[in-house]
């Protein structure tokens, strides 16, 4: 059965999800920028992201949030993490009372330490809270748009809603699994970006494949440590939204966060790197938020801490590697 869908955010992932949903559904794609919305409506292509991908005629682009949300039963939010609170606040009066909301955003709000699910709950009326679903997993937008096989996880506190979205989004090349561990799925998706910066830096230094494998493994250990301390299921971090997304983001050439790390390792300054990027590297903001959250929880996250210090230009990348390698020796289970 066709479902009216709204996708909020016309970046690369929002654009590819609009295309994905348009296989069988009527889709509105909202862009904050009227120029982008007009270009998509006129040419059937996003002028800034996935420019080679032709969108189906069933995708209607608009810069009017009310128009985008009118009568929509499924609302997918694909804006950068720093824009989620403002976008939801503006969207709230226009949401259908029975709408299911899907967050594809991978980040932690620096001011509050909230995951995106908690930001959704903070902004939206209580009636919407059970129907908030979080999507995460190894999923480069370009590969989804090209029809390459992709698998993700959908999480909701009442898993029935994740299963409902699972049926709508899944298809021949896009497969969704469901879970009720919202916190674990969100933390895995957010924190892997921090580790990807670390791994990218390691590769930029040409430190070798041994070092890359070690950073990914110990990075997963510290993600799991924080997640368990906050109440997540440790098994979640072995799944698509944990290990799966970590492997992709740390090693894939399409990873923005890996790119930031690579350029840092090659000696470039953060401001220069970000100034030449098209799109958001969520890990930069998430690193500081994750370290603050870990400090409040009393959880040690040494890789995240050295990434923060490198980003803040308090530590040179080679000194960061030495700091990690010369830490006090301990059991691998610590």
pLDDT tens, N- to C-terminus, the chain (334 residues): 689 999 999 999 999 999 999 988 899 999 999 999 999 989 989 999 988 888 988 999 999 999 999 999 999 999 999 999 999 999 999 999 999 999 999 999 999 999 999 999 999 999 999 999 999 999 999 999 999 999 999 999 999 999 999 999 999 999 999 999 999 999 999 999 999 999 999 999 999 999 999 999 999 999 999 999 999 999 999 999 999 999 999 999 999 999 999 999 999 999 999 999 988 899 999 999 999 999 999 999 999 999 999 999 999 999 999 999 999 999 998 8
- Are 163 and 63 contained in the same domain? yes
Clarify whether residues 171 and 193 are in a common domain.
Answer: no
Is the same domain home to 129 and 17?
yes
Instruction: Kindly report the CATH number assigned to the domain that includes residue 86.
Output: 3.40.50.720
Extract the tokens encoding 11: 């970046």
CATH, residue 204: 1.10.1040.10
Indicate whether 173 and 194 sit together in one domain: no
| Total structural domains within the chain | 2
Answer yes or no: do 95 and 143 share one domain.
Answer: yes
pTM: 0.96
- Tokens 């924080």 belong to 226
Domain boundary residue, one of 180, 203, 219: 180
Q: Which of residues 120, 152, 180 is at a domain's end? A: 180
Q: Is 262 left (phi over 0), alpha (psi -120 to 50) or beta?
A: alpha
Q: Is the same domain home to 165 and 255?
A: no
192 is catalytic: yes
Residue at which a domain ends, from 136, 152, 180: 180
Within 10 Å of residue 47's Cβ, how many Cβ atoms? 14
Instruction: For residues 191 and 176, state if they share a domain.
Output: no
Return the half-sphere exposure (C-beta side, CA atoms, 13 A cut-off) of residue 294. 22
Q: Is residue 27 within 8 Å of residue 6, measured between CB atoms?
A: yes
């Amino acid at each position: 059965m066709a479902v009216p869908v709204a996708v909020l955010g016309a970046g690369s992932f929002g654009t590819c999800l609009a295309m994905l949903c348009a296989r069988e559904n009527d889709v509105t794609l909202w862009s904050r920028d009227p120029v982008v919305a007009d270009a998509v409506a006129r040419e059937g292509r996003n002028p800034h992201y996935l420019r080679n991908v032709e969108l189906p005629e069933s995708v209607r682009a608009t810069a009017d949030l009310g128009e985008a949300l009118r009568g929509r039963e499924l609302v997918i939010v694909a804006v950068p993490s720093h824009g989620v609170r403002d976008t939801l606040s503006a969207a709230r009066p226009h949401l259908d009372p029975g709408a299911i909301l899907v967050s594809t955003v991978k980040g932690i709000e620096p001011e509050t330490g909230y995951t995106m699910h908690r930001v959704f709950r903070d902004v939206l009326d209580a009636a919407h809270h059970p129907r908030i679903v979080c999507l995460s997993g190894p999923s480069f937008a370009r590969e989804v748009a090209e029809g390459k096989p992709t698998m993700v996880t959908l999480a909701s506190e009442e898993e029935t809603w994740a299963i409902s979205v699972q049926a709508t989004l899944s298809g021949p090349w896009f497969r969704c699994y469901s879970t009720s561990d919202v916190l674990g799925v969100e933390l895995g998706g957010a924190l892997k970006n921090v580790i990807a910066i670390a791994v990218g830096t390691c590769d930029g230094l040409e430190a070798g494949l041994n070092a890359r494998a070690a950073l990914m493994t110990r990075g997963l250990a510290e993600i799991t440590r924080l997640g368990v301390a906050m109440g997540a299921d440790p098994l979640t971090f072995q799944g698509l939204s944990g290990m799966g997304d970590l492997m992709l983001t740390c090693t894939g050439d399409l990873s923005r966060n890996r790119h930031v790390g690579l350029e840092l390792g090659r000696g470039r300054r953060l401001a220069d790197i970000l100034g030449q990027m098209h799109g958001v590297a969520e890990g930069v903001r998430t690193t500081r938020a994750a370290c603050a959250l870990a400090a409040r929880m009393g959880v040690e996250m040494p890789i995240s801490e050295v990434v923060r210090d490198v980003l803040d230009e308090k530590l040179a990348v080679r000194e960061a590697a030495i700091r990690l390698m010369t830490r006090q020796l301990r059991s691998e289970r610590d």
